[in-house]
Amino acid sequence: MGDRVIQLCCVVIVLAGALGSGVLVPRMLSVAKTQGLRFTADPIEGAPPIVVLGTAIGALRGIIADYLWIKLQSQKEKGLYYEAMADADLITKLQPRFAEVWGFHGHNMAYNISVLTNTPQERWAWVNAGIDLVRNRGLRYNPNDLGLNKELAFWFAHKIDGVSDDAHLHYKREFAKEWHFLLGPPPMDQLEREQWLRRIADAPDSIEQLEAEHPDVKELENRLTAELSPFERRFAFKLDREFLMNVGRWQASKASAYAKMLGLEERFSKNDPVYAAFDRVFGDPAMVKAKDALIQFLRKKVLREDYNMSPSLMADYTRDWGPFDWRHPQSHAFYFSKQGAEEGSARYTSQDDVYKVMNNDRASIQAMQALNHSGMMTVDVFSNDNPTRMHDLRWIKAIEKYFGELYRKHYKTQGAGGDAFVDFHENFMAQAIRQLFRAGDLEAAKEIMDHLDGMYGRGGVIPSTKYAMPIEDFVRETTYGEYEMVPDVARTDVYAALQRGFRDGLMMGKKKTLDDALTFARELTEYFQSTRYTDFVNRFGERRMADLVGDLRSSVENVFVALIRDQTQPLLDRLVLYNRAGDEQKRMAYDAVKDQVAAELAAGPLSGVYQLEQVFPEPPGMEEYRQAQAELAKQKEAAVAEQNRAGVLHR
């Protein structure tokens, strides 16, 4: 009888436990979702092998991880960064949901270990490894952790796009090259740029689906396999990042002015069998559609698998916020800070977390500000030059819109959170007045000035007359002292003045406007490159800040080429601009934009009326100019090789 009572009690306990778990498990899963205590959308799916290992250790793993974390902090304080890296790696294996250790591990690689190396190449390898660790591993195990997203955003903005690291120019060149190979140059128009990314996002998810939708892709794969099979020991044909990067390199060489000047296409075709195979296969007109479909598929695959980035989200951000160029580090700073705000918002609702959210939002709007200063890019990956980075005034309206969103979001945040964004907004829009004034858009500049006067000037809570002065005086006062503090401001002013000079001087016959712009650009460039604040030469032989502006000649060339390429302006206006320019400016632009102008002319209504040679004639002295440029390119190539050799010898 006693045994039966015991058995009955046991059954009751089991049933009560089952009933209790049925009530509590949904709540636990909900908490797991909001607090990020899992890896995927379904807690029972996607657990990585390292989690199985950690689970097998059981409760002991927490004690081991705590011990290693304390030891790691001690190693950091003693400067034992390599030793700390080993322990951090072990902690991530034991506790992959410990987001803070991923951030520490990545920061240790990108900041502490990188600066202990001897060459820019070694530094970049460590910086890139730290970013990749958090982006492609840490965030996969902690997908809605705001802290990791904020860390990534900061590294892109500060380490790569900032100027504090001696090797920052090398970082900018390598980053632009990598993403140029991955995605190619983006369209100029924002809507076209969104659609360009949307086509990547809409590509098939699997190779089987791709082959079903595009049967000729299978033939393309077979031809590539046959062409590349003799070189498998050197380059095995796989649909992966390495293959996409090689295709991107092949495509970039076809559009590179430097590649043509240096004869790189011919050199690659003779010496690189993979490049020659691409010529034979991708150069076949019958394979054009299959090639394009395969590249779109690969870009989507590589973005998701190797960069943990969503092409759909990239397209959404381009649609909603601005013309992101993914060759620019600040585009990635915005992406991860914005993603962190969207995916991590459910986890950060307490008053203790409010400043984490606010600081993350600051990172996203500061990234937009940086893109306003330097977001319009031109990249020639074979030139060894710094990427051309010009101001992009399209970001002014985007920032005004985003400020409104952030102000409403933080209006009731403890500590008058909205006011922090008010200060940013006023400072940025005051700079926008200067930018628009330099670019010659006086109407837009005056409109913003009146807007600020109503918000912060005579219409402000504490009335002020600072926006009531003549706009010329306001611009002069706004500019004073900023060149040393923010070097991008100097470049912005140079480029804006030259744009205005070319447009008004050539299109409207205002020669004095062009002369004044050239004089201003020359004087500002000379000042910026000679001032004691910017003449420092770093250990890698580069002027860390002065080289951001470049000499006057490259500024003139960059601006003039950008104006001729700007498809937001009518082709006829740009042709007038070109034909009224001097022979020197024409020579700068001719090879760089000839193919684009030819394509636009052939596709437009002027094709049946004019030949390319009539409306876009080759200027005199082009052969001599090409030879001189080729010689300069060879000298730069030799200088870079010597610099790299010297760096190796001094290790």
Beta carbons of 155 and 336 less than 8 angstroms apart: no
CA angle 256, 257, 259 (to 5 degrees): 65
pLDDT tops 60 at residue 32: no
Predicted confidence (pLDDT) per residue in 357-378, tens digit: 888 999 999 999 999 988 988 8
Query: Percent of the chain at pLDDT above 90?
Result: 39
Segment 119-145 mean pLDDT: 92
What residues contact residue 562 under an 8 Å CB cut-off, 6+ apart?
376, 378, 388, 390, 499
Does residue 561 have a pLDDT over 70?
yes
- Closest-CA residue to 197 (of 335, 313, 292): 313
445 contacts 436 by C-beta, under 8 angstroms: yes
Q: Say how many C-beta atoms besides its own lie within 10 A of residue 545's C-beta.
A: 21
d(CA 306, CA 551): 38
Res 493: pLDDT:
80
Q: At what angle do helices 487-502 and 354-374 cross, to 10 degrees?
A: 40
Q: Quote the pLDDT of residue 39.
A: 38
Query: In one letter, which amino acid is 607?
Result: S
Mean pLDDT value across the chain: 82
pLDDT tens sequence across 493-511:
888 888 888 887 887 788 8
Burial classification of residue 87, based on how many CB atoms lie within 10 Å of its CB (0-12 exposed, 13-18 middle, 19 or more buried): buried
Phi, psi of 434 (to 5 degrees): -65, -45
Across 57-71, 162-176, 466-480, least confident range: 57-71
Lowest mean pLDDT among 318-322, 349-353, 576-580: 349-353
Beta-bridge partners for 378: 388
Query: pLDDT category, 337, cuts 50, 70, 90?
Result: very high
pLDDT reported for residue 18: 56
Place 92 in a pLDDT band, splitting at 50, 70 and 90.
Answer: confident
pLDDT for the residue 447: 93
Q: Shortest CA distance to 174 belongs to which of 129, 133, 138, 135?
A: 129
Q: How far apart are CA 155 and CA 337, in angstroms?
A: 11
Q: What is the pLDDT of residues 619-633, one digit of tens each?
A: 999 999 999 888 887
| The pLDDT value given to residue 313 | 97
Residue 363 to residue 487: CA distance in whole angstroms = 19
The residues with which 537 forms a beta bridge, in sequence order, are: 543
Range 548-553 contact pairs with CB under 8 angstroms and sequence separation of 24 or more: 548/163, 548/169, 548/386, 548/487, 548/488, 548/491, 549/487, 549/490, 549/491, 549/494, 549/525, 550/386, 550/525, 551/525, 552/518, 552/521, 552/522, 552/525, 552/526
Please tell me the predicted confidence (pLDDT) of residue 554: 80
CA proximity to 529, closest of 503, 562, 555: 555
pLDDT of residue 256: 84
pLDDT tops 90 at residue 388? no
Return the minimum-mean-pLDDT range out of 315-329, 459-473, 598-612: 598-612
CA distance 195 to 192: 5
Is residue 312's pLDDT more than 90? Answer: yes
Whether residue 155 contacts residue 131, with contact meaning beta carbons closer than 8 Å, is answered with yes
Amino acid identity, position 161: D
Q: For the segment 338-360, what is each residue's pLDDT rounded down to a tens digit?
A: 999 998 776 766 666 777 888 89
pLDDT value for 603:
80
The residue among 495, 558, 510, 552 whose CA lies nearest residue 529 is: 552
> Measured on CA atoms in the order 500, 506, 510, 516, is the torsion positive or negative?
positive
pLDDT for residue 416: 58
Rounded CA-CA distance 10/22 in Å is: 18
Q: Confidence band (pLDDT; 50, 70, 90) for 41?
A: very low
What pairs with residue 389 in β-bridges?
Answer: 377
pLDDT score, position 192: 95
Comparing CA positions, the residue from 399, 400, 341 lying closest to residue 370 is: 399
Residue 331 near residue 367 (C-beta atoms within 8 A): yes
Check pLDDT > 90 for residue 172: yes
Query: When comparing pLDDT for 55 and 350, which is higher?
Result: 350
β-strands 388-390, 376-378: how paired?
antiparallel
Highest mean pLDDT among 58-67, 258-267, 447-456, 595-604: 447-456
Residue 44 to residues 39, 51, 554, Cα–Cα distance (Å) = 9, 12, 57
In order, the DSSP letters of 510-570 are -HHHHHHHHHHHHHHHHHHHHSTTT--B-TTS-BTTGGGT--HHHHHHHHHHHHHH-TTS-
